[in-house]
Structure formats: structure tokens, C-alpha cells
Structure 1
Amino acid sequence: MATITVRVSDVEKQFLDEMAKFEGKSLSDLLKTTTLESLEDEYDARVADYAYEEYLKKPESRPLSELMSEYGLDDDE
């Protein structure tokens, strides 16, 4: 497992320690989960923005039921 060092001020460290305690997590777990969740959210938002821009260039859509059927996710199963 890799280790990453992050330098923070004493005030930031105190805040992070208090947040970890508030969340009932270790400081390491708090930083890891919060950072990964934030980055995943940012990635999802950028992908959505890109998809929307592509849609605006060629505004075509299909019914959800058609897509569900195409991917084998019908209600029939």
C-alpha cells in the first residue's frame, strides 16, 4: 500500500482531527474517502457536461425503455 504525505498548518490539522472524530473515522480514512468522493463527483460532473455539449450539437434522444431493452434490463426479467 502506498503512503502519501500532505503538509497542513496546525490549525488545519486540528480541524481535520475534529472532523475525523465527528465522522467517527480515522484521519487517514476521512481524508481518503472524502478526497476520492470529491474527485469522483468532479469526474462525473465533467463527463455529464461533455455529454450535454455533445447532445446540444446533435439533439437526438431515445426512450429509456428502448435503452433498457437494448442492454437487457427489461422489466420482463
Structure 2
Amino acid sequence: MKELVETIAKALVDHPEDVRVTEEDHGHSLTLRLEVHAEDMGKVIGRHGKIAKAIRSVVYAAGTNQQKRVQLDIG
């Protein structure tokens, strides 16, 4: 799951070397935290949060296949 978020984020940003994803597994739930360069924050969030929402939808769907509830924090 971590690799999925990294791949998506690196394709969107100008500073892919600054993309960091950490994950915390809590049994049936998984928390992912995405950190990017400050200049790239707008590209990851998108206008009115549309890109962030799309990333969350993909991650949620992937988590459903693994029977895990996934939360993605962007910061």
C-alpha cells in the first residue's frame, strides 16, 4: 500500500526525491501519512481537494481488497 501511494505522489510532484510515506498498521486498519516538498503540496491536494480525494479513493479500494480500512493523511 505504501508503494502505491509513493508511486502516485512521485508522478504528480516536481520534487519526487522529497516524497515520504509512513505507515502504521493497527490490525484491521492502516494509517498512511504522505509528506511532500512544500512547493508540491498544492499539486498533491489539487483544486478543491480533488486530487487528494482521488488518491484516497484508490487507496481505499486497494485496502478493501486486503480487508483493511485505510486512512491517508497528507501533510
Q: Same fold (TM over 0.5)?
A: no
Q: Which has the higher contact order (CA 8 A, sep 6+)?
A: 2
TM-score normalised by L of structure 1: 0.30
TM-score normalised by L of structure 2: 0.30
Look at both structures and tell me which one has the larger radius of gyration over its CA atoms: 1
- Structure (1/2) with the larger strand percentage: 2
- Structure (1/2) with the larger helix percentage: 1
